Amino acid sequence: MRSILYPFTLSVLIAVCPLEKSFSQTTFPGDSIKAILVKDWERAKAYTADYMKAMPADKYSLKANDSVRTFAQQLLHIVQANAFLVSLAKGESPNFSGRQLERIQSAQSADSVMYFVNHSYDDAIEALKKTTTGDLMKTNTFTMDKPYTATRLSWFMKAFEHQTHHRGQTTIYLRDAGVKPPDERLF
């Protein structure tokens, strides 16, 4: 059996290796990457809007547990992180104000949360559209306890990952409120 598998495996490897090499050398134009990211950010904005609309306005102060943020605060946290990480993606020095927005009582209503969240997604989308292809690979650094350096493309992707994470956390809040979470939006 071993003698039969060896030639077969060798022939598969010989056939696949040139394909793998040509695929790894494939480059994607920066404008294509930007278009993909813009489309994903627009989808994420719509998906987050589905979550905000699903939660009854009188439940925005709901906490899944006493030691965690309210539903409104989770979404306002997304706003603050989007602003912080997207500023790095734009090549700017971030103005990190901590959890201030999460603590402003007038920002906690459903209408206020929706306004701030939509604005933060619009800012990210507009920043992506304005970023030149050449700027995507430029780096930006911020220092907290140590320096963190990443490409602007990476800062955009970190912002995207962060908002996805926190939106996902709000699924529990919807379930605690007796609301079915919105269907997933992959496309």
Residue 10: pLDDT over 50: no
* SS3 call for 147: strand
Q: How far apart are CA 28 and CA 169, in angstroms?
A: 33
Q: How far apart are CA 5 and CA 94, in angstroms?
A: 58
Q: What is the mean pLDDT of residues 87-96?
A: 85
Q: What is the mean pLDDT of residues 127-134?
A: 93
Q: Which of 107, 46, 97, 50 is closest to 73 using CA atoms? A: 107
Eight-state DSSP code of residue 92:
P
Q: Is-contact 59 161, C-beta < 8 A?
A: no
Residue 28: pLDDT over 70: no
Q: How far apart are CA 50 and CA 178, in angstroms?
A: 15
Sequence letter at residue 158: K
Residue 18: pLDDT over 60: no
Higher pLDDT, 115 or 22: 115
Contact residues for 76 (Cβ-Cβ < 8 A; gap 6+): 101, 102, 107, 108, 113, 116, 117
Q: What is the mean pLDDT of residues 141-157?
A: 94
Q: What tokens does 177 get?
A: 């409120």
Confidence of residue 9 (pLDDT cuts 50, 70, 90): low
* SS3 call for 45: helix
Residue 7: pLDDT over 90: no
Percent of the chain with pLDDT over 70: 81
Sign of CA dihedral 175, 63, 101, 131: negative
Residue 1: pLDDT over 90: no
The alpha-carbon radius of gyration of the chain (Å, integer) is: 22
Sequence letter at residue 146: K
Q: What tokens does 8 get?
A: 């077969």
pTM: 0.82
Q: What is the mean pLDDT of residues 166-176?
A: 97
Buried b (16+ CB within 10 A) or exposed e, 41-79: beebbebbeebbebbeeebbebebeeeebbbbbbbbbbb
Contact residues for 19 (Cβ-Cβ < 8 A; gap 6+): none
Q: What is the mean pLDDT of residues 73-101?
A: 88
The fold for domain 28-176 equals Four Helix Bundle (Hemerythrin (Met), subunit A) (1.20.120)
